[in-house]
Amino acid sequence: MKSSFNSCPQHENFEELAALAAVGELSPLELERLRHHLAECSLCRAVYEAFADVASNDLGVVAAADQIIEEVGYGSEDEAEAREHLGRLRDRLKAGASAEQSFTGPRAAEKREIHRARPGGYRRAAYGIAAGILLAAAAAGGIAFWRAAKDLSVERARLHELRSVVDSLKQEKRDDRASSNDAVLRSLQESQKARDSLQKSLAVSAARNEELLERERASEAKLAGAIATAEQLRQQLAMNDGDRERLAKLKQESDTRLREALAELYEARQAPVETATKSAAHEEAKLAPDVQPSPENGASPASPTEVEARNLFGARDLHIVDVYDVAGDGKTKRTYGRVYYVEKRLLVFYAFDLENRQNRKRGVFQAWGYREANLGKPLSLGLFAIDDNPTSRWVLTVNRPDVLSHIDAVFVTVEPPGGSTTPRGKKVLYASLIGPPNHP
Amino acid sequence: MFGTVCTPIMRGKMAEHAHVGLLTDEALLHNIAHGCEDCFDLLFLRFFRPVLNMAFKIIRDRSEAEDVVQEVFLAIHEQRERFDPSLGSARTWVIQFGYYKSMKRRTYLWNRQFYAPHVDEDGDGRDPALVQPEFIQRSAEEKEIIEQGLACLNPAQRRIMELVHFEGHTLREISQMEGKELGAIRNSYYRGLKTMKAMLTDGVRRTQVRAVAPAKRREEYEIEL
């Protein structure tokens, strides 16, 4: 709604107070404010009068109409009460009749006519009474003036007190506003600090988040590399498994072939030995029929049997000693030999090119064993037999542990056909069996 | 008193009349204006109860209401020639007078609770700063305009105006009845009264109120708390 105080907007607050004052709805402080303001502001005073006119006169018409509608008839009790009040009203009218000189209507004129019709004595008396009344009225007026002045001074003092109260309230309001402003300022500063702190925390968190993201990306890359490597390793492992299986298969095949080769080799060796043995026996029988291996020597057939060959090849303490015959001038002779010796169990002595023109004439070749530290009599190990004639290979096999456990050296002599009990002929080959096994 | 004849003093001023039977309210006021005290008594007896009810409704105090009745008829007795039958009925005029006096007494009593030493002791309620307007008889046309002005208010404002002026409730009572803040009720009453004042006291109000009413109703509704 458009204000009535367009030219004086600061008075708008008093407009509401004026409206409420028209029906007596103001608090003491509000009423005092309004009274103070209305005493100085004619504009607001006019507004107040307009509100009061609406409230007291205009709305009274409608109120009267409503009241008329609500009216009901009244009984004898109401009439008695009304007559009682009428009596009081009449008393008041009579009491005030003497002072009612200000009436301006037919009644006043009537009274004036009555007064004019009275005799002069009464008029003088009336004048005297009127003078007395005037004097009394003057005295009463003086007293009233004095009381009004007194009340005015009290009123002013009270107004001064109220103004001081209002000033103190205004000051308190200003102080409250100032303190409120300070509090708001402090709150704003604290909020600013909190916001700065939060922004810093946010920046740190963002950096940390970025770092974590970077780490995550690196970890993902590493993980991808590890997965690729694992895949390669898995493929390689599969390939290795294939290689292993292939190698195992090859090993099995090679073992099979080795065993077959050994068997073939053994068979291949066994057949010439038997042939050579038979041939040698035949030759010896032909050349030296009287020379036979002595039973006490226990010489086995010249070539090792299959069992002996297996024991020899599979021995863990095998001695293989190459034997050369050295001449007096330090030169190596043509004759040489090779001893296969399994300690205290088996000895196979191959000799090559034993025969020459002198040796063939002298007799047979006999092996002897002895212990170098013991200067006792050498033990006969047996006679050599030809093993392979084309290659001029001779062989002697000794499988007597009781003999072999007492020797640590062997030598070969040329003995007369049939052999000798003690070595008498020329030493051809000599080999020492002392020392650790050299095979494997 | 009934069945009597007016005194000879009055015979020269008005027609001789008997108080037997019913005289209209206007006739009573006419005779009172011409000095018939019997008619005044008749008027008092006729309007004692309505004026007392009106005063009690506004003031809520029996003795004060009875005192207001005395004040009303004293004023009528003093201003008996002021009644203008061309403006409205005598009945409305008397009860409107009762309303005027009741509101005046109510305001006086309310203010006296806080400033008893500074208010006129004769019970007139006159405050130098808060000058009360004179009683003015409203015409039937003005009554219609006032009713239209009330109709222009939004429902909340109209109800507060009716409760205050026609039922005699205080704004605090209305606040408790309506379950709203007292400040809101005060502001709503202020805006309603302001609207009424604008329509009834501004220069154009009495001719344009019908045209302005719908727009003003909407405006009031929008600013209602």
Give the best-scoring range by mean pLDDT among A10-19, A231-240, A360-369.
A231-240
Whether residues B198 and A1 touch (CB distance < 8 A) is answered with: yes
* Nearest-angstrom CA–CA distance, A103 and A100: 6
The residue with tokens 């007392």 is B52
The answer to whether A66 contacts chain B (CB < 8 Å) is: yes
Written as one letter, the residue type at A350 is Y
Q: Alpha-carbon distance A348 to A338, whole Å?
A: 8
Question: Which one-letter amino acid corresponds to residue A424?
Answer: R
DSSP state, residue B82: G
Cross-chain CB nearest to B193 (options A31, A54, A67): A54
- Phi/psi class of residue A379: alpha, beta or left (left: φ > 0; alpha: ψ in -120 to 50)? beta
In this predicted structure, what is the pLDDT of residue B36?
86
| Among candidates B129, B191, B200 on the partner chain, residue whose Cβ is nearest the Cβ of A39 | B129
Count residue pairs from A and B with Cβ separation < 8 A.
204
- Mean pLDDT score, A419-431: 85
Look at A25 and B48 and tell me if their CB atoms are within 8 Å.
no
The one-letter amino acid at B163 = L
Enumerate domains of chain B plus CATH numbers. 139-225 (1.10.10.10)
Q: Which residues, in sequence order, are bridge partners of residue A59?
A: none
Residue A373: strand, helix, or coil: coil
Tokens 């000051």 identify what position? A171
How many CA atoms lie within 13 Å of B199's alpha carbon, on the beta-carbon side?
31
Strand partners, A337: A323, A351
Structure tokens at A71: 């009216």
Distance, CA of A337 to CA of A322 (rounded, Å): 6
Contacts of B9 (CB under 8 A, 6+ apart): A110, B35
Q: Is A155 helix (H, G, I), strand (E, B) or coil?
A: helix
**B35: helix, coil or strand?**
coil
| Whether B115 and A31 lie within 8 Å, measured CB to CB | yes
Predicted TM-score of the model (pTM): 0.44
On chain B, the residues whose CB falls within 8 A of the CB of A52 are: 130-133
- Shortest distance between the Cα of A13 and any Cα of chain B, in A, equals 11
- The Cα–Cα gap between A375 and A110 comes to 203
Q: What is the pLDDT of residues A291-347, one digit of tens each?
A: 344 434 444 457 788 888 888 888 888 888 888 776 667 677 777 888 999 888 899
CB contact under 8 A, B136 and A92: no
Q: What is the pLDDT along chain B (225 residues), one digit of tens a residue?
A: 344 445 434 444 555 666 655 788 888 888 888 888 888 888 898 889 889 988 998 888 889 999 999 999 988 888 877 888 888 888 888 888 899 999 888 888 887 765 544 444 444 445 666 777 888 888 878 888 888 888 889 999 999 999 998 888 889 999 999 899 999 999 999 999 998 888 887 644 444 444 444 444 444 433 333
Give the C-alpha separation, A339 to A318, whole Å.
10
* Cβ-Cβ contacts under 8 Å, A50 against chain B: 197, 201
Which pair of tokens denotes residue B46? 């006729």
A20 interfaces chain B, CB cutoff of 8 Å: yes
Cβ neighbours of A326 (radius 10 Å)? 10
Sheet holding A427-432, edge to edge: A379-383, A364-370, A409-415, A427-432
CB B183 within 8 A of CB B133: no
CA–CA distance, A37 with A162 (Å, rounded to integer): 13
A23 vs B107, B115, B191: nearest CB = B107
Contact: B129, A53; criterion CB under 8 Å: no
A88 touches chain B (CB under 8 A): yes
Answer with the residue of higher pLDDT: A357 or A40. Answer: A40
Does residue B95 contact residue B68 with C-beta atoms inside 8 Å? no
